[in-house]
């Protein structure tokens, strides 16, 4: 299940999160948003508790839509420590998104391994 976040809860749930957060800006009328939803759930299952997935209704949270300069829906932002690490927009469909999510998963895993910490392997997303 995807946690729904609003302008009121965004700072606490996303910007102050101790783990990276994949923010899905979507809208009820957006067909591509509905199509990619199962892929996002699969990504969430693969990454478990290492990356949090949240959804933001762009129509109901106009201030956030403006702050993050949304040009199209869906737009996905990977936010870590309050900063945007990856921005995904303008993808053409499920396969485009799947490849982009895999790239995020792998880059996140690689960056955590670079700390040479014995716990780094625990932070790696699990592959399906």
- Position 110 scores a pLDDT of 52
User: For 82, left (φ over 0), alpha (ψ -120 to 50), or beta?
Assistant: left
How many domains is the chain partitioned into structurally? 1
**Annotated catalytic residue within 30, 32, 39, 100:** 30
Task: Tell me if 121 is assigned to some domain.
Answer: no
Task: Tell me if 127 is assigned to some domain.
Answer: no
pLDDT reading at 106 higher than 60: yes
Of 13, 16, 105, 102, which is closest to residue 61 (Cα–Cα)?
13
pLDDT reading at 20 higher than 90: yes
Range of the domain at 70: 3-110
Mean pLDDT of the chain: 85
Average pLDDT over residues 60-72: 96
Whether 47 is a known active-site residue: answer no
**Annotated catalytic residue within 5, 33, 88, 125:** 33
pTM given for the model: 0.83
Strand, helix or coil at 100?
Answer: helix
Residue 109 makes CB contacts below 8 A (sequence gap 6+) with: 123, 124, 125
Task: Tell me if 64 is assigned to some domain.
Answer: yes
Q: Which residue has the tokens 């955590």?
A: 112
Average pLDDT over residues 6-30: 97
**What is the pLDDT confidence band of residue 50, given thresholds at 50, 70 and 90?**
confident
Task: Tell me if 34 is assigned to some domain.
Answer: yes
Task: Beginning with the edge strand found earlier in the chain, give each strand of the sheet holding 83-89 in spatial order.
Answer: 3-4, 52-57, 21-26, 75-80, 83-89
More confident residue, 3 or 127: 3
- Position 63 scores a pLDDT of 97
Task: Tell me if 80 is assigned to some domain.
Answer: yes
- The enclosing domain of 104 has a CATH number of 3.40.30.10
């Amino acid at each position: 299940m995807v946690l729904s976040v609003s302008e009121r809860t965004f700072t606490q749930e996303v910007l102050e999160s101790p783990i990276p957060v994949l923010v899905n800006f979507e809208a009820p009328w957006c067909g591509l948003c509905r199509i990619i939803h199962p892929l996002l759930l699969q990504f969430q299952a693969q990454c478990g508790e290492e990356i949090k997935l949240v959804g933001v209704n762009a129509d109901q949270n106009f201030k956030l839509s403006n702050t993050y300069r949304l040009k199209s829906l869906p737009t996905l932002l990977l936010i870590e420590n309050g900063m945007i690490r990856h921005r995904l927009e303008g993808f053409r469909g499920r396969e485009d998104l799947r490849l982009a999510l895999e790239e995020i998963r792998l880059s996140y895993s690689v960056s955590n391994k670079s700390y040479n910490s014995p716990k780094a392997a625990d932070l790696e997303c699990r592959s399906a």
